[in-house]
Amino acid sequence: MKSFRKELWFNTKKRYELVHISREVADAVRESDIKEGFCLVNAMHITASVFINDNESGLHGDYLEWLEKLAPYSRDGYRHNIGEDNGDAHLKRQIMGREVVIAITDGQLDLGPWEAVFYGEFDGKRKKRVLIKIIGE
């Protein structure tokens, strides 16, 4: 069994941003030369997420609006906000999840017809990373 590791780095211009990263993940699979296995993609920061869904801008807007209703931004509305104002970002990350695992078949990501991989940023404007870990043969 082989193993491959790669990091992606992000520094978004906005506090909240959804970044399509399917191409970067597929590139890592090609670099790994693993034909059959699994690809883990996870956010390495507690206010960011990795998830799979449709690459459609209306849905992305719906996600951000829905998350804001569930965990609205507030400078003093969260007990966590001692010296920070990102209590909402921790909750948004919890809802959207930390990572995804994608099967690799014949050297390709085994995604459904409308599935795409996204990095979700909920406390942006600073450098953060995503880990890609691929194992298989």
Q: Go through the domains of the chain in sequence order and give each one's CATH number.
A: 2-56+96-136 (2.60.120.460)
Amino acid at 99: E
Q: What is the pLDDT of residues 27-58, one digit of tens each?
A: 999 999 999 999 999 999 999 999 999 999 99
Q: What is the mean pLDDT of residues 114-120?
A: 98
Pick the closest to residue 25 from 49, 58, 2, 50 (CA basis): 50
Tell me the whole-structure pTM to 2 decimals. Answer: 0.94
Number of C-beta neighbours around residue 27 at 10 A: 14
Order of strands, edge to edge, in the sheet holding 17-20?
Answer: 17-20, 115-121, 48-54
Q: What is the pLDDT of residue 55?
A: 97
**Residue 75 pLDDT > 90, yes or no?**
no
Q: What is the pLDDT of residue 78?
A: 82
